[in-house]
C-alpha cells in the first residue's frame, strides 16, 4: 500500500478531509441538476465518483482494510475513466450536446433540489437513524439520500435519453455513498459484480440511445409514444 | 460429482453460444441450439434428483446454494429454454427469410438467447443476495437486445422503456440489500457471509425488525418491477408484444418468475425477522392489484400479443396472491402455477406467432375465424386459450383452485372474494377474445390475401407446441411423484418463515 498517502491520511484529521469530499459530492449533484451541457454533466459525474472513491479510500485506510487500494483503483478505472469515456463516445456519435427544453426550467430545478437537500438535512438527524447507522463523517447519510433523489429528479425532468442515463448513474452514486456510510463496502465479489453491471449497462444503454437516434431521429424520450394501452 | 453437474449446467449456455457461431446453415444453427438445450434439460433433471435426495447442496465455498426452490426454478428455466429453442428453429428461419437477410443477425439472436438463459440460471442458483441482484441486472441487459431485436420504432421504444424501468427498479432493490446487510453487521454477524441466504436464514431472528421492514419494501419495489407486478408493470406489455415470439415466451415464462424468486427468497428472511403478517400482506396487495388492473386491459385489448402480455400480468398476480395467502396449500398452488403458466404461455405465444406469420398482423380485428384457415393452429389456440383462462380439465385450473382454497382456509375472506371476482372478469375477457379469434366469423376483406401467403407448420413448430400442450393436460389430472415431492419441499422452504 502507498505508505506516504496512508501516512498523510492518518496524520491529518480524516473526518474533516472526508467532510470536504462529502460537500463536493453534494454540490456537484446540485450543479448537475441545473446543467444543460451534456458534456459538462459527464465531467461532473466523473468528479462526483472520484470524491466518493476518495471517501471510501479514507474509510478503508482508517479501518485498516488491506485490499482498499486495489478495490479503489478498480472502481476508479471503471467509474472515472471507462463509464465517462463510453458516455462521451455516445455523445460524439449522436452529436447532440445541449438540452434546452426540460419539463422543469433548469434554474428552478436547481432551487428545488437545494430545498430538497435542506429538508433532508433537517429531517434525517431527527428521525434517529443517524445515531443508529454508522456515520463516517457527519452528513454522509443525508448526502447519499439527497443524491439518490436528485438522480431520480434528473431522470424524471429531462427529456434526452442520454441525460436519463446520467441521472441513473447519479442515483447509483447515491447508493454507493449509502454503502460507504452504512457498511463501508460490500463483499468484494459483489462490489466487482456491481461495477461490471454498471459498465455493461453503460455500453448497452449507449447502444440503445444510438438506436433511438437512428429510428426516431431525436433522443427526446417524449417522442416515444408508439406503444399505448 | 455434484459440482461437475452444476459446472456443466453453467457451461452449456456458454458452449452453445460459441457453437452456434460456426455453422453457415440456418437450420443447423437452430438444431445445434435445440440439442444443447435438451441436454441442459436432462442435466437439470439429474440435478433436481440430487437435490431431492440430499435436501440441499452448497458448493464452491458456499457461493452456490441449491435447494428445492432453486431446483424448481432450474427445472423451469431449462424446460422453457428447451421448448423455446425448438420453436426457434422454424420460426427464426421463417423470420430470416421474410425480414432479416443477414445470417449474423440470426447468430446474434442465439448468442443473446444463451446469455439470457445463463443469467437466469445464475439468478436461481447463487447463494449471495448481492450476486442474485447482479444476475438479475445482467438478465435485463442481455434481454434488452432481444426485446429490441427488430430494430424498428416500436421495438426500440419497448426496449428503452424496459431497460430504464428495470434498471431504476433494481437500483431500489440494491438499497434494500444494503439495509439488510447493514442489519447483519449491526448484530455482529460475519461480514464475509453477511449476504449469503443460508447464513441470513440462521441469524434472521436476531435482525432488527424495523430495518428489515424498510429493506423488504425496497426489495419488493425493486424485484417487483422485474416481476412485472402492478403498478410497476408498464414495461411488461410493451416488451412482451414487441419482442420476437420465442423471446416473449421466455420473458413471460421464466424471467418474471425470476423476479418473484428474488422476492420470495427475501420474504422468507423478512418473515423470520418480522413475523408473518407484514411481507405477506404487502405481496397479497400487489398481487390483487395486478389481477384487477390486468382485467381492465384484457377486456379492451386489440392486439393479440399485448393480450397475452396482460394475461402474464394476471398470472403473476395470481402467483403473488398465492404467496401472500401464506398458507401451505396456497403456496403449493402458487409454485405449481409457475410451472403451468410457463407452459401455457409458451404455447399461446407460439400459436400467436404462427398466426402472425400467416396473417401478417397482430390486430385481433383481422384475426377471426382462424380455425377455418389454419385448422391445427386454430384448434391449439382455442384449447390453449381456454386453458389460459382457467377452465377445468387443465392444470391452471387446479393451481388456481389450490390458491383460492388456501386463501379461504387462511381466513382471507375479502381477498379471496376479490381474487375470485377478478379471475371471473379475466375469464370472461379472455374467452370472449379467443372464441372470436377461433370460431368467430371470418373477416372477408383479408381472406384473399391470406390464402396467397404460404405458411406451413414445420416439424419443430409442432413438437414445441405439443410438448406444453401434453404437459398441461397431464398435469391437470395426474402429477408425477418427483414433481409433487419437489413442489412439497419447495413449499416447506417458503413456509419456513411462518412458524413464529
Least confident of B42-56, B95-109, B269-283, B464-478: B95-109
Interface residue A162 vs chain B (CB under 8 A)? no
Which stretches of chain A score pLDDT less than 70?
A: 1-6, 8-15, 125-138, 229
Q: With an 8 Å Cβ cutoff, are A215 and B153 in contact? A: yes
N- to C-terminal Cα distance for chain B?
37
Q: Which residues of B touch A168 (CB under 8 A)?
A: 164, 167-168, 171
Q: Which of B128, B145, B237 sits opposite A190 (nearest CB)?
A: B128
**Whether the predicted pLDDT of B231 surpasses 80:** yes
Q: What is the mean pLDDT of residues B419-429?
A: 91
pLDDT for B393 equals 80
Closest-CA distance of chain B to residue A133, Å: 8
Interface residue A148 vs chain B (CB under 8 A)? yes
Cβ atoms of B159 and B296 closer than 8 Å = no
pLDDT for A229 equals 65
All residues at 6 or more sequence positions from A115 whose CB lies less than 8 Å from its CB, including other chains: none
Q: Which residue has the higher pLDDT, A8 or B21?
A: B21
Cβ atoms of B147 and B242 closer than 8 Å = yes
Q: With an 8 Å Cβ cutoff, are A182 and B182 in contact? A: yes
SS3 B64: strand
The model carries a pTM of 0.91
**Whether the predicted pLDDT of B500 surpasses 60:** no
With pLDDT > 90 as the criterion, what percentage of chain B qualifies? 35
Here the ipTM equals: 0.89
Q: How many CB atoms lie within 10 A of CB A159?
A: 17
Q: With an 8 Å Cβ cutoff, are A183 and B195 in contact? A: no
Closest-CA distance of chain B to residue A113, Å: 20
Closest-CA distance of chain B to residue A144, Å: 11
Q: Which of B153, B159, B171 sits opposite A175 (nearest CB)?
A: B171
Cβ atoms of A135 and A181 closer than 8 Å = yes
Interface residue A171 vs chain B (CB under 8 A)? yes
Cell numbers that stand for B160 in this block: 428503452
CA dihedral defined by A159, A160, A162, A165, rounded to 10 degrees?
0
Q: Which residue has the higher pLDDT, B404 or B392?
A: B404
Q: How many CA atoms lie within 13 A of B477 on its CB side?
A: 4
Whole-number Å distance between alpha carbons of B178 and A186: 8
Q: Is residue A228 part of a domain?
A: no
pLDDT for B42 equals 92
Q: Which residues of B touch A171 (CB under 8 A)?
A: 168, 171
Crossing angle for the helix pair B235-242 and B304-324, to the nearest 10 degrees:
130
Q: Which residues of B touch A175 (CB under 8 A)?
A: 171, 174-175, 178
- pLDDT band at residue B449 under the 50/70/90 scheme: low
Interface residue A54 vs chain B (CB under 8 A)? no
Whole-number Å distance between alpha carbons of B165 and B160: 8
Whole-number Å distance between alpha carbons of B186 and B273: 14
Q: With an 8 Å Cβ cutoff, are B163 and A196 in contact? A: no
Q: Which of A148, A164, A197 sits opposite B134 (nearest CB)?
A: A197
Q: Is residue A229 part of a domain?
A: no
pLDDT for A13 equals 67
Closest-CA distance of chain A to residue B374, Å: 29
Q: With an 8 Å Cβ cutoff, are A182 and B130 in contact? A: no
Q: With an 8 Å Cβ cutoff, are A224 and B157 in contact? A: yes
Q: What is the mean pLDDT of residues B380-409?
A: 88
**Whether the predicted pLDDT of B467 surpasses 70:** yes
Q: Is residue A194 part of a domain?
A: yes
> What are the CA-CA distances from residue A168 to residues A89, A195, B102, B156 (Å)?
18, 14, 34, 19
CB-based burial, B15-42: b 16+ in 10 Å, e otherwise = ebbebbeeeeebeebbbbbbebbebbbe
Q: Which of A171, A208, A215 sits opposite B171 (nearest CB)?
A: A171
pLDDT digits (tens, 9 = 90+) for B70-123: 999 999 999 999 999 998 888 887 765 555 567 788 888 899 999 999 999 999
Whole-number Å distance between alpha carbons of B13 and B138: 14
N- to C-terminal Cα distance for chain A?
58
Closest-CA distance of chain A to residue B122, Å: 13
- Strands, E, within chain A: which ranges? none
Chain B's closest residue to A149, CA to CA, is B172
pLDDT for B255 equals 92
Q: With an 8 Å Cβ cutoff, are B237 and A148 in contact? A: no
Interface residue A131 vs chain B (CB under 8 A)? no
Among B153, B184, B239, the residue to mutate for chain A (most A Cβ within 10 A): B153
Whole-number Å distance between alpha carbons of B201 and B199: 5
Q: Which of A133, A161, A178 sits opposite B160 (nearest CB)?
A: A161
Closest-CA distance of chain B to residue A209, Å: 8
Q: Which of B141, B156, B192 sits opposite A211 (nearest CB)?
A: B156
- pLDDT band at residue B310 under the 50/70/90 scheme: very high
> What are the CA-CA distances from residue A39 to residues A88, A163, B206, B274 (Å)?
7, 10, 48, 47
Q: Is residue A182 part of a domain?
A: yes
Interface residue A183 vs chain B (CB under 8 A)? yes
Cell numbers that stand for B46 in this block: 439429474
Closest-CA distance of chain A to residue B138, Å: 7
Closest-CA distance of chain A to residue B488, Å: 32
pLDDT for B173 equals 92
pLDDT for B247 equals 92
Residue B83: cis peptide before it, omega within 30 degrees of 0: no
Q: What is the mean pLDDT of residues B23-44?
A: 88
Q: With an 8 Å Cβ cutoff, are A208 and B160 in contact? A: yes
- pLDDT band at residue B411 under the 50/70/90 scheme: confident
- Residues of the domain holding A145: 3-223
Q: With an 8 Å Cβ cutoff, are A221 and B300 in contact? A: no
DSSP H stretches of helix in B360-394 = 370-373, 375-389
Q: Which residues of B touch A155 (CB under 8 A)?
A: 164, 168
Whole-number Å distance between alpha carbons of A37 and A160: 11
pLDDT digits (tens, 9 = 90+) for A109-150: 899 999 999 998 888 766 655 444 455 556 788 888 899 999
Q: Which of B134, B151, B306 sits opposite A211 (nearest CB)?
A: B151
Number of domains within chain B: 1
> What are the CA-CA distances from residue B223 to residues A196, B1, B82, B283, B326 (Å)?
20, 33, 25, 12, 19
Q: Which of A152, A175, A205 sits opposite B163 (nearest CB)?
A: A205
Q: With an 8 Å Cβ cutoff, are B241 and A227 in contact? A: yes
Interface residue A224 vs chain B (CB under 8 A)? yes
- Residues of the domain holding B408: 2-498
Q: With an 8 Å Cβ cutoff, are B178 and A178 in contact? A: yes
Q: Which residues of B touch A172 (CB under 8 A)?
A: 171
pLDDT for B457 equals 66
CA dihedral defined by B350, B353, B358, B360, rounded to 10 degrees?
170
All residues at 6 or more sequence positions from B114 whose CB lies less than 8 Å from its CB, including other chains: B13, B14, B16, B17, B20, B33
pLDDT for B2 equals 67
Cβ atoms of B226 and B262 closer than 8 Å = yes
Q: Which residues of A touch B179 (CB under 8 A)?
A: 182
Cβ atoms of A219 and A160 closer than 8 Å = yes
pLDDT digits (tens, 9 = 90+) for B255-268: 999 999 999 999 99
Chain B's closest residue to A180, CA to CA, is B178
Number of domains within chain A: 1
Q: With an 8 Å Cβ cutoff, are B154 and A164 in contact? A: no
Interface residue A10 vs chain B (CB under 8 A)? no
Q: Which residues of B touch A178 (CB under 8 A)?
A: 175, 178
**Whether the predicted pLDDT of B252 surpasses 80:** yes
Amino acid at each position: 500500500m502507498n505508505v506516504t498517502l496512508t501516512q498523510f491520511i492518518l496524520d491529518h484529521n480524516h473526518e474533516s478531509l472526508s467532510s470536504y469530499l462529502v460537500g463536493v459530492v453534494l454540490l456537484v449533484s446540485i450543479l448537475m441538476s441545473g446543467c444543460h451541457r451534456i458534456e459538462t454533466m459527464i465531467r461532473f459525474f466523473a468528479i462526483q465518483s472520484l470524491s466518493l472513491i476518495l471517501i471510501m479510500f479514507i474509510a478503508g485506510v482508517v479501518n485498516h482494510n488491506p485490499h482498499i487500494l486495489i478495490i479503489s483503483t478498480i472502481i476508479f478505472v471503471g467509474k472515472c475513466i471507462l463509464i465517462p469515456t463510453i458516455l462521451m463516445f455516445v455523445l460524439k456519435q449522436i452529436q447532440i450536446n445541449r438540452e434546452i427544453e426540460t419539463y422543469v426550467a433548469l434554474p428552478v430545478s436547481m432551487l428545488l433540489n437545494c430545498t430538497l437537500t435542506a429538508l433532508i438535512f433537517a429531517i434525517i438527524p431527527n428521525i434517529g437513524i443517524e445515531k443508529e447507522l454508522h456515520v463516517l463523517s457527519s452528513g454522509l447519510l443525508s448526502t447519499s439520500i439527497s443524491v439518490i433523489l436528485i438522480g431520480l429528479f434528473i431522470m424524471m425532468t429531462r427529456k434526452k435519453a442520454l441525460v436519463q442515463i446520467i441521472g441513473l448513474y447519479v442515483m447509483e452514486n447515491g447508493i454507493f455513498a449509502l454503502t460507504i456510510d452504512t457498511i463501508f463496502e460490500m463483499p468484494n465479489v459483489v462490489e466487482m459484480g456491481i461495477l461490471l453491471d454498471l459498465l455493461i449497462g453503460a455500453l448497452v444503454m449507449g447502444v440503445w440511445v444510438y438506436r433511438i437516434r437512428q429510428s426516431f431521429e431525436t433522443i427526446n424520450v417524449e417522442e416515444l409514444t408508439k406503444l399505448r394501452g | 460429482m455434484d459440482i461437475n453437474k452444476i459446472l456443466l449446467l453453467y457451461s452449456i449456455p456458454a458452449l452453445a453460444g460459441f457453437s452456434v457461431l460456426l455453422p453457415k446453415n440456418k437450420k443447423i444453427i437452430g438444431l445445434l441450439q435445440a440439442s444443447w438445450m435438451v441436454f441442459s434439460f436432462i442435466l437439470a433433471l439429474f440435478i433436481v434428483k440430487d437435490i431431492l435426495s440430499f435436501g440441499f447442496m452448497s458448493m464452491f465455498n458456499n457461493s452456490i446454494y441449491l435447494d428445492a426452490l432453486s431446483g424448481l426454478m432450474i427445472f423451469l428455466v431449462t424446460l422453457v429454454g428447451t421448448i423455446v429453442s425448438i420453436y426457434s428453429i422454424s420460426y427464426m428461419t421463417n423470420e430470416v427469410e421474410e425480414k432479416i437477410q443477414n445470417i449474423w443477425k440470426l447468430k446474434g439472436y442465439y448468442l443473446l438467447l444463451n446469455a439470457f438463459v445463463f443469467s437466469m440460471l445464475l439468478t436461481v442458483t447463487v447463494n449471495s443476495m448481492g450476486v442474485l441482484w447482479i444476475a438479475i441486472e445482467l438478465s435485463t441487459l442481455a434481454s434488452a437486445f432481444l426485446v429490441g431485436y427488430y430494430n424498428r420504432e416500436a421495438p426500440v421504444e419497448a426496449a428503452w422503456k424496459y431497460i430504464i424501468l428495470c434498471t431504476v427498479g433494481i437500483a431500489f432493490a440494491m438499497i434494500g440489500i444494503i439495509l439488510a446487510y447493514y442489519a447483519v453487521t449491526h448484530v455482529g454477524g460475519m461480514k464475509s457471509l453477511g449476504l449469503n441466504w443460508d447464513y441470513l436464514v440462521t441469524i434472521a431472528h436476531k435482525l432488527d425488525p424495523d430495518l428489515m421492514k424498510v429493506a423488504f419494501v425496497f426489495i419488493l419495489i425493486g424485484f417487483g418491477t422485474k416481476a412485472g407486478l402492478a403498478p410497476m408493470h408498464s414495461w411488461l406489455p410493451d416488451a412482451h408484444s414487441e419482442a420476437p415470439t420465442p423471446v416473449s415466451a421466455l420473458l413471460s415464462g421464466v424471467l418474471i418468475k425470476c423476479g418473484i424468486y428474488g422476492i420470495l427468497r427475501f420474504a422468507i428472511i423478512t418473515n423470520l425477522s418480522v413475523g408473518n403478517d407484514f411481507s405477506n400482506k404487502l405481496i397479497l396487495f400487489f398481487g390483487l392489484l395486478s389481477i384487477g388492473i390486468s382485467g381492465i386491459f384484457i377486456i379492451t385489448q386489440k392486439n393479440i400479443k399485448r393480450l397475452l402480455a396482460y394475461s402474464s400480468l394476471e398470472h403473476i398476480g395470481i402467483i403473488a396472491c398465492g404467496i401472500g395467502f401464506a398458507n401451505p396449500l396456497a403456496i403449493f398452488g402458487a409454485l405449481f402455477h409457475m410451472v403451468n403458466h410457463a407452459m401455457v404461455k409458451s404455447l399461446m405465444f407460439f400459436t400467436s406467432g404462427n398466426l402472425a406469420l400467416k396473417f401478417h398482423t397482430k390486430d385481433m380485428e383481422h384475426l377471426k375465424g382462424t380455425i377455418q384457415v389454419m385448422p391445427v393452429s386454430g384448434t391449439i389456440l382455442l384449447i390453449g386459450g381456454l386453458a389460459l383462462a382457467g377452465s377445468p380439465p387443465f392444470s391452471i385450473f387446479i393451481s388456481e383452485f389450490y390458491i383460492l382454497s388456501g386463501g379461504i382456509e387462511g381466513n382471507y375472506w375479502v381477498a379471496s372474494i376479490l381474487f375470485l371476482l377478478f379471475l371471473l372478469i379475466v375469464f370472461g375477457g379472455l374467452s370472449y377474445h379467443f372464441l372470436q379469434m377461433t370460431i368467430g366469423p371470418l373477416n372477408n376483406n383479408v381472406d384473399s390475401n391470406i390464402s396467397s401467403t404460404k405458411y406451413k407448420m414445420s416439424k419443430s413448430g409442432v413438437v414445441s407446441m405439443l410438448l406444453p400442450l401434453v404437459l398441461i393436460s397431464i398435469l391437470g389430472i395426474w402429477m408425477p411423484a418427483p414433481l409433487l415431492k419437489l413442489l412439497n419441499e419447495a413449499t416447506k422452504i417458503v413456509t419456513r418463515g411462518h412458524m413464529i
